[in-house]
Structure 1
């Protein structure tokens, strides 16, 4: 039959077949290049197609996966999910953004969000299901870190209020005037806020969910910084020791009490005064030796027992520290021994 003698509609039918073929090839290319695993399975739950992203995320090659039951990806404790999913597919229903956990070839688990749709043949019959699995592990980890951060912030705020309440109660017992109480509270709260600021995590980037610890020397430098450039001098030497973020508050209050007394009565209060803080640490214990030296005799008022002494006792108990003081003719030496674990 010549070209002119072709049956009506034959050319149109061939064009339609070609268009369908091109569309199928186009869709196959989209599936293959997708960043998300796209898997199809039969109504019996047997894997029939497996794209490159599925290989990357789950670890099985297409040769290994196709023909296997989809349950190779499902942890044992979640096997009951598959019959429920297949029942919805049989009913022609779509499953949208179902968050669950799946298992890789190496046995590790991955958080995924599944979208599952029925696959129909040319007659409209349901013959299987397509599944898009989006890896949401990082999103879940970020949400967990954020939740941990918020709970830690809540815990810290509660602790700060508790410490502030204790400071007020102790200060009120020994305060002689309202102005004296106000000054004492202001100084201690400023020191507390500065030390607390050192442990606050950043709210940008990955650091938003990481605690920032400090070291003993960094903490001492912060507390003693107001006395830089004065008539007295101070020096740090020995072993620097790490201090966990949740230990900074108590330790800073103790060291601030030492520096406050030194600024009022001791080496930081007079011209020519000298303060040396030496730290010696081994695997179990940390010894902080606070040695003040004055050009003259130590004023008797330095030995007065008041709010500071009670505060030191309270904090020493918290840190499981032993504090001993020795007043000499030329100054005061404070030795603080505490378990290394109390700081870390």
Structure 2
């Protein structure tokens, strides 16, 4: 409440009463608290985004053989991150639809007709959506360079399901490549592979398993879907 009082005086100057006005400023206080919350949340997201960009830039340059290659790779990874931000912005950062995110991650790089996509409606918290955007970008570009999308007949199957309920919900997503070149043993892990293995590495977030089968790459995600305000982003550190 915002209160204001003025005295009522007699002709002789003595106080014989008062006039008091009280205003309900609950809405104003709520607005101030909401703005403060938004600023804090914006600061948190900006710091997280800058940390992710720094990590991607550092390791992209470190693993590239030439500067032009590093520039192209870094640009594509940042575009993928930006597209995920666009989807989240359209939803006021409440989250993102998994199918929309998959489509947005694939279309800039490959024909959607090369993919078989199946699964129910899943709403991803913002941090999980950003992680998936980066992971799907790496999988897609890897498939174009070395896997099922490097020829004219290869296919990629993406399927998912939800397991559990409410706070115990877990997303199980499978990426399967077929029809591409025969996959041999992997002698050296690039940044893309490191990113995929570490992006969901936290026990609280979930896990990812890469299997280099002869018929094609198989990637299994097991990701816990916490409420948006309870989940924290998990990105690889630029120091390792």
Shorter-chain TM-score range: 0.7 to 0.9
Unaligned runs of at least 5 residues, structure 1: 1-111, 203-209
Distance 2:20 2:90 in 1: 40
TM-score normalised to the size of structure 1?
0.58
For residues 288-326 of structure 1, the C-alpha deviation after alignment (integer angstroms, 9 at most, x for no partner) is: 1111222x5346598862111111223121433132324
| Aligned equivalent of 1:249, options 112, 130, 137 | 130
What is the alpha-carbon root mean square deviation over aligned residues?
Answer: 2.6
Q: Is structure 2 residue 56 aligned with structure 1 residue 167? A: yes
Q: Show the counterpart of 2:85.
A: 196
1:246-285 correspondence runs (5 A): 246-283=127-164, 284-285=169-170
Q: Show the counterpart of 1:23.
A: none
Native 8 Å contact 1:170 1:310 kept in 2: no
For residues 152-175 of structure 1, the C-alpha deviation after alignment (integer angstroms, 9 at most, x for no partner) is: 111111111111111122223321
For residues 139-164 of structure 1, the C-alpha deviation after alignment (integer angstroms, 9 at most, x for no partner) is: 21112111111111111111111111
For residues 172-222 of structure 1, the C-alpha deviation after alignment (integer angstroms, 9 at most, x for no partner) is: 3321000111111000011111112322378xxxxxxx6421122221121
* TM-aligned CA deviation for residue 267 of structure 1: 2.8
| Higher helix residue share | 1
Distance 1:145 1:342 in 2: 19
Q: Is structure 2 residue 203 aligned with structure 1 residue 321? A: no
Higher relative contact order (CA 8 A, sep 6+): 2
* CA radius of gyration, larger in: 1
TM-score normalised to the size of structure 2?
0.81
Native 8 Å contact 2:106 2:112 kept in 1: no
Native 8 Å contact 2:61 2:67 kept in 1: no
Unaligned runs of at least 5 residues, structure 2: 232-240
1:1-344 correspondence runs (5 A): 112-121=1-10, 123-200=12-89, 211-227=93-109, 230=111, 232-283=113-164, 284-294=169-179, 296-298=180-182, 300=184, 305-318=189-202, 319-329=205-215, 331-341=216-226
